[in-house]
Amino acid sequence: MRLGGAAWPSVVFIEGRSGSGKTTLAEALAARLEQAGCARPQIVGMDELYPGWRGLAEGSASVAAMLSRGAYLRYDWYAERFTPEITLDRTAPIIVEGCGSLSAAALAAAREIGPAYAVWIECPTALRRERAIARDGETFLPHWDAWADQEAAHFAVSLPLARAHELVHVGAQA
């Protein structure tokens, strides 16, 4: 990642399709920011915001409010309900990673906190699918196609690729 400029962003969005490497990049970026002397970045995974397998649009819509309020409700996938509120420290960097993280409203809310930076990760479908199944096991397999449809709907409406400051290509060697 380039992350140009003297100051680190207050909010970084890492957007892309399932299995593209968003969480891995978020963790690497958090370590890099901490090594550079920043406070430990808070990582909010979109998986914490989706209310189940059909919840990408609802999770995406909640990002702007989360950043504005400095708090969010985390979805418990096993209990199938939201947990008590989690508070963000808006004086420390925030990394929001996952499909649905980047929209015009989320970017505007981030800029109210400070500088914002957005990354799009591009990865071949076969590799993404392999990674997603390795990560989530057979649990994800029956949801792959419906999830891809939700991703496509989000991309068509929110245009995250057009809003990204940087495009990262991930291939089979990554």
The per-residue pLDDT for range 82-127, each reduced to its tens digit, is 999 999 998 899 999 999 999 999 999 999 999 999 999 999 999 9
Answer yes or no: is pLDDT of 138 > 90: no
Answer yes or no: is pLDDT of 151 > 80: yes
Q: Is residue 2 part of a domain?
A: no
Answer yes or no: is pLDDT of 174 > 50: no
The per-residue pLDDT for range 24-79, each reduced to its tens digit, is 999 999 999 889 888 889 999 999 999 999 999 999 999 999 999 999 999 999 99
- Total count of domains within the chain: 1
Q: Which of 131, 122, 129 is nearest to 160 (CA)?
A: 122
Query: Residue 4 CB: number of other CB atoms within 10 A?
Result: 8
DSSP-derived secondary structure for 86-97: EE--TTS-EEEE
The alpha helices in the chain, defined as continuous H runs, are 22-35, 56-69, 104-113, 125-136, 144-158, 160-163
Per the structure block, which two tokens stand in for 82?
Answer: 């939201």
Per the structure block, which two tokens stand in for 63?
Answer: 């990002």
Could you tell me the sign of the dihedral formed by the alpha carbons of 5, 72, 134, 125, in that order? negative
- Residue whose entry in the numeric block shows the structure tokens 């914490």: 48
Answer yes or no: is pLDDT of 1 > 80: no
CA dihedral defined by 3, 110, 47, 60, rounded to 10 degrees?
A: -120
The CATH number of whichever domain residue 70 belongs to comes to: 3.40.50.300
Q: Is residue 5 part of a domain?
A: no
Domain of residue 80 covers: 11-169
Q: Is residue 1 part of a domain?
A: no
Q: Is residue 75 part of a domain?
A: yes
Query: Residue 151 CB: number of other CB atoms within 10 A?
Result: 17
Q: Is residue 162 part of a domain?
A: yes
Q: Is residue 6 part of a domain?
A: no
Q: Is residue 4 part of a domain?
A: no
CB-based contact 42:94 (threshold 8 Å): yes
Per the structure block, which two tokens stand in for 6?
Answer: 């003297």
Q: Is residue 44 part of a domain?
A: yes
